[in-house]
Amino acid sequence: MRRFLSGLVALAGFGGIALGQGVAVSAAESAKPVEIMVLGAYHFDNPGLDVRNISADDVTSPRRQAELAALADSLARFAPTKVMVEAEGKGPDFDVPAYRTFTPQQLASEHSETVQIGFRVAHRMGLTAVQGIDEQGGPGEPGYFPFDKVQDWIKAHGQEPQLAALFAEVEAEQKAFEAAQHKSSIPALLKRFNTPESVARGHQLYTGLIQFGDGENQPGAELNGYWHMRNAKIFGKLMQAAKPGDRVLVVFGAGHGYWLRQFAQTTVGYRLVDVVPYLDSADRKVGKRK
């Protein structure tokens, strides 16, 4: 049986290469790729829903509004044809109902990055809809971040120091971020979450949890599996909402950035566009205004 399965894997691998090449050629000949720009954000409205939370200052202040306007100007150069955000829209169109009644006046009171970046840019581009492609566990569905099970295992096995060491770097970065808020623009702050180095470093927190488990009980590995599943479903919704030639701006919590970028880079018919040059441009524009 083992030899039979190995043969199937080898055959599937060979067939997959041929099929992949065929699809890539066909896509190149018949349609333009979907271009995806992932903007990993911190949560502007301080919802306190993460394991470790950054304390963001008031993004409705005149200073921050000027910075967000410069950011929108810069992102508009990407010319997004769709804006997708961390909200749950219903298929098949995944439209976010709140955007239908959005007006720029809301920017003076609404704090979330969904509104301040996603809705702002969509409105600036004249888009009639914003897609909400988030995935959350519902009745009969798994919890996509079962951290409680990891914590229970850690307490039962006396490995609190290992967990503390894993979070020490995260907490240090959060303190550095909060200190930087006083002198940095929002585009510069967002850059801290979107460089290749910071994206990889952030993902290491998740993979670091894989160590917590033993034998058949692997809560850390299971958490990573569910986290991957959630992001795969998010990207699946993106694929269902996009069409060839679209330019999609994705505004999501920075923790999702690693997997969303991976899917964009490795899925046939999709191309990842680096957001960092657009953040740098917006930061320079803010600097000239001062």
What is the SS3 string spanning 75-120?
HHCCCCCEEEECCECCCCCCECHHHHCCCHHHHHCCCCHHHHHHHH
> What is the pLDDT at residue 173?
87
Q: What is the residue-level pLDDT of the chain in tens, covering all 290 positions?
A: 444 333 433 333 434 433 333 344 444 545 799 999 999 999 998 754 454 557 789 999 999 999 999 999 999 999 999 999 999 999 999 999 999 999 999 999 999 999 999 999 999 999 999 999 999 988 877 789 999 999 999 999 999 999 999 989 888 888 899 889 989 999 999 999 999 999 999 999 999 999 999 999 999 999 999 999 999 999 999 999 999 999 999 999 999 999 999 999 999 999 999 999 999 999 999 986 55
According to the model, what pLDDT value does residue 288 have?
Answer: 67
Are residues 23 and 147 located together in one domain of the fold? no
pLDDT of residue 11: 35
The domain of 19 spans 1-30
Asked if 160 and 63 sit in the same domain, the reply is yes
pTM of the model: 0.87
pLDDT of residue 1: 40
pLDDT value, residue 169 = 85
Q: How many domains does the chain have?
A: 2
Interatomic CA distance for residues 38 and 199, integer angstroms? 11
Residues 67 and 185 in one domain: yes
Residues 201 and 183 in one domain: yes
The reported pLDDT for the residue numbered 141 is 77
Half-sphere exposure of 253 (CA within 13 A, CB side): 21
- pLDDT at residue number 12: 38
Q: Classify each residue of 109-139 as buried b or exposed e, where b means 16 or more C-beta atoms within 10 Å of its C-beta.
A: ebbbbbbbbbbbbbbbbebebbbbbbbeeee
Residue 47: per-residue pLDDT = 58
| Same domain for 191 and 228 | yes
Length of the chain: 290
Same domain assignment for residues 25 and 158:
no
Q: Within this chain, do residues 111 and 172 fall inside the same structural domain, yes or no?
A: yes
Alpha-carbon distance of 153 to 218, in angstroms, equals 9
The verdict on 119 and 12 lying in the same domain is no
